[in-house]
Amino acid sequence: MQDVIKRPWWERYQPVSYKIVSRSGDENAFKDMVQRCNAVGVRIYPDAVFNHMTGSWPSGTPGVGGSSFDSGSENYPGVPYSGFDFNDGNCNSGSGSIESYQDANQVRNCKLSGMNDLNQGSEYVRGMIMGYLNHLIDIGVAGFRVDACKHMWPGDLDVIFNGLNNLNTDYFPAGSRPTIFQEVIDQGGEPVTASQYTGLGRVTEFKYGLSLGSAFRGNNKLTYLSNFGEGWGFLPRAYSLVFVDNHDNQRGNGGGGDQILTFRTPRWYKMATAFTLGWPYGYTRIMSSYNWPQDIQNGHDNNDWIGPPHDSNYNIISPTFGADGACQGDWVCEHRWRQIYNMVMFRKVVHGTDSNDWWDNGNNQIAFCRGNKGFLAINNESYDLKQTLQTCLPEGTYCDVISGNVSGGSCTGKSVTVGSDGTAYIEILTSEDDGVLAIHAQVSLN
């Protein structure tokens, strides 16, 4: 298999060292990116992998950054780690890998997908991890998405996170602490739960995207989304990180199966993302993807390993952009879709408000206000939505941010006229590109 697979995206999830080197560039390139992004208010959260090192690779396989390693003897001189730093002696499974997710000890002390499992209970290992993360903090990152937290003991993570430096005062107020997003795949029915990690930082709520995808695919009614969040058994909103899809489950991995919505189902995807960004639950994350040729066999994509667009030497090809700012070629760049980036602004405008004045047709047409700052309507029926609804906004004309923008004092897409009582005639036709309409206080033409 490894003879066929070349430069998979998941090579970044099998560390050989803690050097900042990947196909995206070296440490100097990373520093330059962080500086430029911070200068314009864009914060960087690296995806930190320290649950494990590599899986089993032939001796002599080179690391991307040039470090040598021997996975069989668990020797990683680039850190350095040796066999003493891994969990083999603490794993109670016969194979050394996780065999039962009903055994919390196996989940946290045995090998995930055959990858050498670090012992975060070791003071030395913790020191190496903290050194790596603190180096990134000193460069200017704002925090971390921590991979595979489910497979580490919360007590060990607590020690590591408490050992992190304050953020770099060149970019952040003195005393600022790194923001932590922990990946914990919890679909229920296992002894390791996402709630065991909420005391340490925000935690991924994987049930969110699964439930939302199921609803928009027609397996549940949108009307039931009126209490979406804690009312569905999700994590408390103060601790949850929510998303429609991520890099794993858009490839059929990491929970969710065929219910997950991706860029391959763009109409549903834009509706679900608009709901996510419009709904007052959790800390939202949006996906930015690249396309790859799928090879579905027996429900599994044999090409799920394919990395980003590249040339014949497997160098990553940078995206190019059209006149509308969207990416061209195989870069999908959902964050550059108008229907998505305009909903990011919607979320900023309505921040601090809750949902109110919920309306639905008893099935798959819904609408709600966000205080007196914003209004969102969704039509996932096979027939048109034509309804006078309460928008909760002041009287005036507003531009729908899904179908267009405000330009030169007019709307490039649909406009909505709100009366003195806050109501407006809302129309979302099945013939339209998008099944969503959204207006907010900052897109008034008055």
Within a domain: 311: yes
Q: Are residues 72 and 221 in the same domain?
A: yes
Return the pLDDT at 256: 74
Q: Which strands form 179-182's sheet, in the order they lie side by side?
A: 47-48, 143-146, 179-182, 202-204, 240-242, 283-284
Return the pLDDT at 1: 36
Percent of the chain scoring above 70 in pLDDT: 99
For residue 5, pLDDT over 90 is answered with: no
Calculate ∠ Cα 12-16-22, nearest 5°: 40
Q: Which strands form 415-418's sheet, in the order they lie side by side?
A: 385-390, 423-428, 415-418, 396-399
Number of H helices and number of E strands within the chain? Answer: 7, 18
Q: What is the mean pLDDT of the chain?
A: 97
Q: What DSSP string describes 312-371?
A: TT-PBPPP-B-TTS-B-TTB--GGGSHHHHHHHHHHHHTTT--EEEEEE-SSSEEEEEET
Q: Are residues 82 and 223 in the same domain?
A: yes
Within a domain: 395: yes
Task: Return phi, psi of residue 10, to 5°.
Answer: -80, 5
| Crossing angle (nearest 10°) for helices 266-278 and 206-214 | 130
Within a domain: 374: yes
Confidence (pTM): 0.96
Residue-wise pLDDT for 21-72, tens only, equals: 999 999 999 999 999 999 999 999 999 999 999 999 999 899 999 999 999 9
Return the pLDDT at 383: 99
Return the pLDDT at 205: 98
Between the alpha carbon of residue 36 and those of residues 140, 234, 327, 345, the distances in Å are 11, 36, 21, 22
Within a domain: 168: yes
Q: What's the CATH number where 283 sits?
A: 3.20.20.80
Q: Are residues 361 and 341 in the same domain?
A: no
Q: Are residues 152 and 86 in the same domain?
A: yes
For residue 3, pLDDT over 60 is answered with: no
Q: Are residues 327 and 366 in the same domain?
A: no
Q: Are residues 322 and 388 in the same domain?
A: no
Q: How far apart are CA 244 and CA 236, in angstroms?
A: 18
Nearest-CA neighbor of 150 among 51, 241, 18?
A: 51
- What value does the CA radius of gyration of the chain take, rounded to a whole number of Å? 23
Q: Are residues 256 and 371 in the same domain?
A: no
Which of 294, 317, 346 terminates a domain? The answer is 346
Over residues 84-97, mean pLDDT: 98
Percent of the chain scoring above 90 in pLDDT: 97
Within a domain: 1: no
Within a domain: 61: yes
Residue-wise pLDDT for 385-405, tens only, equals: 999 999 999 999 999 999 999
Over residues 352-357, mean pLDDT: 98
What six digits make up the tokens of 427?
């129309």
Over residues 307-325, mean pLDDT: 96
Three-state SS string across 227-292, please?
A: HCCHHHCCCCCCCEEECCCCCCHHHCCCCCHHHCCCCCCHHHHHHHHHHHHHCCCCEECCCCCECC
Q: Are residues 230 and 287 in the same domain?
A: yes
Q: Are residues 211 and 93 in the same domain?
A: yes
Which of 316, 346, 376 terminates a domain? The answer is 346
Confidence of residue 254 (pLDDT cuts 50, 70, 90): confident
Residue-wise pLDDT for 198-247, tens only, equals: 999 999 999 999 999 999 999 999 999 999 999 999 999 999 999 999 99
Residue-wise pLDDT for 63-81, tens only, equals: 999 999 999 999 999 999 9
Calculate the CA 297 to chain-centre distance. Answer: 27
Confidence of residue 431 (pLDDT cuts 50, 70, 90): very high
Within a domain: 150: yes
Q: Are residues 257 and 394 in the same domain?
A: no
Annotated active-site positions, please? Answer: 147, 183
Q: Are residues 268 and 391 in the same domain?
A: no
Within a domain: 424: yes
Range of the domain at 362: 355-443
Return the pLDDT at 2: 43
Number of domains composing the chain: 2
Which of 346, 375, 396 terminates a domain? The answer is 346
Over residues 316-325, mean pLDDT: 97
Residue-wise pLDDT for 115-144, tens only, equals: 999 999 999 999 999 999 999 999 999 999
Q: How far apart are CA 396 and CA 418, in angstroms?
A: 5
What six digits make up the tokens of 166?
């304050």
Over residues 337-363, mean pLDDT: 98
